[in-house]
Chain A
Amino acid sequence: DAGITQSPRHKVTETGTPVTLRCHQTENHRYMYWYRQDPGHGLRLIHYSYGVKDTDKGEVSDGYSVSRSKTEDFLLTLESATSSQTSVYFCAISGSEGTGRSGNTIYFGEGSWLTVV
C-alpha cells in the first residue's frame, strides 16, 4: 500500500463551520490531489499540487482551498461548510515512474467521510 494517511477519517460538522482535512504521505511523491466521491459521479478532482506551495484548481474547486507547506502534507480546507459538501474525500499521490507524467499511476488514501448538517 502507498504510504498515504488521511485525517480525520470521519467527521460531522455544522453548516458554516470551517473544516480542514489532512493528507500525509511518506513516499516523497511530487504530485498530490484531492478528489471527492459522490454517487453516480465517480471521483472528481478538487485541487492538486505539483510541489511545495504549488497548487492549482481542479474540476470542482468552488468552496475549497488547499495548502502544501511541506512535500508530505496536503491540506484541504472548507472555509464555510455547506450541505452540498457532504461527501467522501480522497487524497491521492503520484510520482515519476519513467513513463512520463501522463502515465504516472495515482495511488489513493483510505478516504475521509464528511457530513455537514
Chain B
Amino acid sequence: AQSVTQPDIHITVSEGASLELRCNYSYGATPYLFWYVQSPGQGLQLLLKYFSGDTLVQGIKGFEAEFKRSQSSFNLRKPSVHWSDAAEYFCAVGAGRGNAGNMLTFGGGTRLMVKP
C-alpha cells in the first residue's frame, strides 16, 4: 500500500524568503504525485502534479516541485514567499486500482505561516 510522509507539521518563513516543503512517498510502481493547498475553511486546490517526463514540475502561484525517484521525494519549492501563501499544504500519491479511478493517499499536511 502506498503512503505519504510530510515530516514538517508546521513551518514559519519570513515574507520574501525561499520555501521548501518536504514530501516522501512509498509506492511500488511509478507514482503519480500531487501537491494541494488549503486555505482555512476552504477546499483543496491543486498546485501541481507529476505524471511522467520532466522531473521538475511547474505549478500555479509560482510553485514548483521536483520528483527524485532515488530519494522517493517530491518536495515543493517557491523562491520567494508571499503573505498570501500562508495555508496548509498536502502532498498526495495517486494509484489507479481497478474501478477506482485515481485513489489518492495524502500526507498529514504542513501548515505554513508567513512572518511579515
**Chain A contact residues, CB within 8 Å of chain B:** 4, 30-31, 40-45, 48, 50-51, 54, 56, 58, 90, 94, 99-111
B109 to chain A, nearest CB (A): 5
B51 to chain A, nearest CB (A): 5
B43 interface residue, CB < 8 Å from A? yes
CB <8 Å contact, B42 and A50: no
B44 to chain A, nearest CB (A): 4
CB <8 Å contact, B95 and A108: no
- Report chain A residues within 8 Å CB of B6: 42
In the complex, 23 of the A-B residue pairs with CB atoms within 8 angstroms, ordered by the A residue number, are A40-B9, A40-B108, A40-B109, A41-B108, A42-B6, A42-B90, A42-B92, A42-B107, A42-B108, A45-B103, A48-B100, A50-B99, A54-B99, A56-B99, A102-B32, A103-B49, A103-B96, A104-B96, A106-B94, A106-B104, A110-B43, A111-B41, A111-B42
One of B45, B92, B94, B109 near A103 (C-beta < 8 A): B94
B28 to chain A, nearest CB (A): 13
Complex: how many Å from CA A102 to CA B29? 11
Q: Give the nearest-CB partner of B50 in chain A.
A: A103
